[in-house]
Amino acid sequence: MPNLNISSLLVLQSSLLTDTLMGFAVALILAALCGEYLYRKLGWPRIMGYVLVGLVSSMLGIGYDEASLPAEFRTVIDLALALLLFELGARINLKWLKANPWLIATSLLEAGLSFGVVLLVLHGFGLGWRSASAIAAICIATSPAIVMRVVSESRAEGQVSERLTLLAGLNCIYAVLATKLIMGWVQITTAGALFHTILQPAYMLFGAVLLAAILTWAMLRVVRHFKLSQENSLLLIFGLLLLATTAARVLQVSVILVPLLAGILLRNQTERPLIWPRHFGTAGGILVALLFVFTGLSIKPELFLTGGLAALVLILLRAGAKTLGVLVFARPSGLTWRQGLCLGLALSPLSAVAFSLIAEYQLLLPEFAGRLAPFVLSAVALMELLGPLVVLWALRRCNETHVGDID
């Protein structure tokens, strides 16, 4: 390499950085325009535009993969996800489960069926039981990000929306717990340590509950003494959420479980209604939009191919399993068949949580993760695009979206 000196290297590096930033800036602008276009022309959720632009950018090489993700971006994703999970948790009224136990039955059945179906399908495609069960556990979760975003963007109100958020919150918890157990199981046979199977999941659960309880305690104080409509209180809430997720990362407990549980605890500890603007106002709204752009950027187009047929079959059968799980108890739980069908289909999105769980495997068991990633990531990639549309369609079919629909 002739004539290469340090200064030219520096120039090259900084221009690379500028390129990334430029590319990123262009991606943001296009995301906003594309989201608006889809919304105005087709009445589709704007987030589909964000994901689409992210996807196209990543095809053009502007994307990144999990490993090379800059720390600042990681923070944005964590915070946005924590925000959505906390909001979702705060919608879950545990008393409802007591008043209508058919909901518990529905939740367990849809989660159980989707786990079982995915497990069998993947095994059928030749995956070992351990890999198949790891993927099946991840696939229990309905994307809380997509659900929360579409429900709040379309200002949906009604039984299907309420149950959708409830079931999504619950299956998210199942997915995290199941993943931890399976991780332990994989490790005992690979590393042979008892610690991993029992103590590790127990520690994770205990740690998550403890952190969530602390976060709830702090949030309760904020709710009582601050006006949630003020920007200053939002700063406080963002700070607390970020602190909690960072602590969760450091202590290696689930970053998903902590904000979700904190939301649930907060909601069920106080009778007084918790009133805050959607995603805690405009700042939160931007974070959430960024989350979707980033998820789009991190989808690599080749993913659609690697998972291939298995991913497609997996998605379809998983959606079928969830729908069947909801339909079985739809009538006794107080829904019509149509509402049950729509609710079941609306449970099909997969996204950020699945990403986050696969990332945990990549951290702890990189080799094992290598076998899972293609299936999960291509399934996620597909559902990231289709998920919002499915949810919106289902809510519209049940007349639960606002008349002017999305705002």
Partner 1 sequence: MLEDFHDSRPLSMGVELELQIVNKRDYDLTPCAADLLRLLEKKDLPGDIKPEITSSMIELSTGICQSHQDVIDQLTPIRDAIVKAARKLDVGICGGGTHPFQHWSQQRIFDTPRFHQISELYGYLSKQFTIFGQHVHIGCPGPDEALVLLHGLSRYIPHFIALTASSPFVQGVDTGFHSARLNSVFAFPLSGRAPFVTTWQDFTHFYEKMTRTGVVKSMKDFYWDIRPKPEFGTIEVRVMDTPLTIERAAMVAAYIQCVARWLMIEKPVRPEEDHYLPYTFNRFQSCRFGLDGTVADPVTGEHRTIREDILALLEKLAPHAAELEAEEACNQVRALAKGQDNDASWLRNLQDHEQLLPEVVRQQCLLWQGTPSPG
Contacts of 238 (CB under 8 A, 6+ apart): 79, 83, 280, 283, 284
Q: Which is nearer to partner 1, 166 or 319 (CB)?
A: 166
Q: Which is nearer to partner 1, 332 or 366 (CB)?
A: 332
Q: Encoding tokens for residue 276?
A: 């805050």
Question: Per CB under 8 A, does 91 bind partner 1?
Answer: yes
Judged by CB under 8 A, the residue of 4, 6, 250, 275 near partner 1 is 275
Is-contact 66 298, C-beta < 8 A?
A: yes
3-state secondary structure of 45: coil
Binding mask 95-134 for partner 1 (x = CB under 8 A): xx--xx----------------------------------
- Minimum distance between the CB of residue 332 and partner 1, rounded to whole angstroms? 10
Q: Per CB under 8 A, which of residues 204..243 are in contact with partner 1?
A: none
Q: Which is nearer to partner 1, 271 or 367 (CB)?
A: 271
Nearest-angstrom CA–CA distance, 364 and 357: 11
Q: Which is nearer to partner 1, 54 or 285 (CB)?
A: 285
Q: Per CB under 8 A, which of residues 14..33 are in contact with partner 1?
A: none
Q: Which is nearer to partner 1, 41 or 95 (CB)?
A: 95
Nearest-angstrom CA–CA distance, 232 and 250: 27
Is-contact 54 31, C-beta < 8 A?
A: yes
Binding mask 133-162 for partner 1 (x = CB under 8 A): ----------------------x-xxx--x
Residue in the structure block whose two tokens are 């919304």: 39
Measured in whole angstroms, how far is the alpha carbon of residue 354 from the centre of its chain? 6
DSSP secondary structure letters along 336-351? -HHHHHHHHHHT----
Helices 71-89 and 257-269 cross at an angle (nearest 10°) of: 30
Q: Which is nearer to partner 1, 40 or 402 (CB)?
A: 402
Q: Per CB under 8 A, which of residues 332..371 are in contact with partner 1?
A: 334-336
- Minimum distance between the CB of residue 334 and partner 1, rounded to whole angstroms? 5
Question: Per CB under 8 A, does 93 bind partner 1?
Answer: yes
Q: Which helix (H) or strand (E) holds 301?
A: none
Q: Which is nearer to partner 1, 73 or 102 (CB)?
A: 102
- Minimum distance between the CB of residue 160 and partner 1, rounded to whole angstroms? 10
H runs (alpha helix) in 61-192: 71-89, 94-99, 102-124, 129-138, 144-153, 159-190
Nearest-angstrom CA–CA distance, 165 and 391: 11
Q: Encoding tokens for residue 405?
A: 């629909």
The count of residues interacting with partner 1 (CB under 8 A) is: 24
Nearest-angstrom CA–CA distance, 380 and 374: 10
Question: Per CB under 8 A, does 402 bind partner 1?
Answer: yes
Per CB under 8 A, residues contacting partner 1 are 91, 93, 95-96, 99-100, 155, 157-159, 162, 271-275, 334-336, 399-400, 402-404
